[in-house]
Amino acid sequence: MAARLQLEGVSLHFGGVTVLREVGFDVEPGQVFGLVGPNGAGKTSLFNCISGHYRPSGGSLRIDGVEVRGARPASMAGHGLARTFQHPALQLRETVLENVMLGAHARLPGGPLEWSLRLPRALRAERALRDEALALLEENGLGWAAHTRADELSHGLHKGVELCRALMMRPKLLLLDEPAAGLPHSEVEQLIETVRRLQRDADVTIVIVEHHMGLIAALTDRVVVLDHGAKLMEGTAAEAQSDPRVLEAYIGREEADDAA
């Protein structure tokens, strides 16, 4: 069942630097929700708080009503959370299939001893996961690359492999961190179709950090705009694109970058 994500007053401080200031919003089960804002707005830092890679300095973070603020990433998987990263973290010397199967580590039966001894139950589980990973790669147009080493693929294909690895967790809540970054137009269109299919066929809530406003407008039910670590506005993508505060935040940041 798709998860509900609730943030209330989430703050993050590194020393004397405030990265996030009392950010709050609700994501309903099954929604595609966008986090947008200019560079340095705090989007990825907020993602890291949600996924357990950063511990928030204050506030509440709940998945299906359960407080998870401060939980480690491995624990977050137990709450049905999976994520991708701006820069895919694949095992480059392993095959695509092996990388995707790693996403199911939390679902493996038994313990390290059972797997090291290659006991029958472990072997049966491995075969089932291999079949599932192959089917997932085929479904996402990557079946041809299953037995190819990851370091032989392009950046865009790495993103596809990482998405498949996240889906192997059978998540209730999927965080996509700039999934369109570095992709050509044709692959962005393919990504949009993939997320639409997930929204239609998979029982999952999706939260996307992205600069590509075409993708955000095409996919999201609602968006939150961050600026300087604070929530600037919440609404639809169309409302965000026409909001004077949002336009000022983007234009002002671009002018500052140009001046630098």
Provide the CATH number for the domain around residue 250.
Answer: 3.40.50.300
Q: Which of 120, 150, 169 corresponds to the end of one domain?
A: 169
Please check whether residues 9 and 70 belong to one and the same domain: yes
Mean pLDDT in the chain?
88
Please check whether residues 75 and 9 belong to one and the same domain: yes
Q: Say if strands 66-67 and 58-63 run parallel, antiparallel, or are unpaired.
A: antiparallel
Q: Which of 169, 200, 232 corresponds to the end of one domain?
A: 169
Q: Say if strands 58-63 and 5-14 run parallel, antiparallel, or are unpaired.
A: antiparallel
Please check whether residues 179 and 256 belong to one and the same domain: yes
Residue at 85 is within a domain: no
Q: What is the pLDDT of residues 203-249, one digit of tens each?
A: 899 999 988 788 899 999 999 999 999 999 999 999 998 999 888 88
Span 78-83, average pLDDT: 92
Please check whether residues 74 and 194 belong to one and the same domain: yes
State residue 97's pLDDT score: 95
First CA to last CA distance, the chain: 47
Please check whether residues 175 and 260 belong to one and the same domain: yes
Domain of 223 in residue numbering reads as 1-80+171-260
Please check whether residues 161 and 149 belong to one and the same domain: yes
Higher pLDDT, 11 or 40: 11
Please check whether residues 137 and 103 belong to one and the same domain: yes
Residue at 21 is within a domain: yes
Using alpha carbons, select from 12, 5, 11 the residue that is nearest to residue 66: 5
Higher pLDDT, 123 or 29: 29
If one counts the domains in the chain, the total is: 2
Please check whether residues 65 and 187 belong to one and the same domain: yes
Please check whether residues 59 and 113 belong to one and the same domain: no
Compute, in degrees rounded to 10, the torsion defined by CA atoms 192, 195, 94, 103: 170
Q: Which of 169, 196, 224 corresponds to the end of one domain?
A: 169
Percent of the chain with pLDDT over 70: 90
Please check whether residues 185 and 76 belong to one and the same domain: yes
What predicted TM-score, i.e. pTM, was given to this entire model? 0.89
Residue at 86 is within a domain: no
- Token pair 């993708």: residue: 215
Please check whether residues 193 and 68 belong to one and the same domain: yes
Please check whether residues 187 and 235 belong to one and the same domain: yes
The DSSP secondary structure of 126-144, one letter per residue, reads HHHHHHHHHHHHHHTT-GG
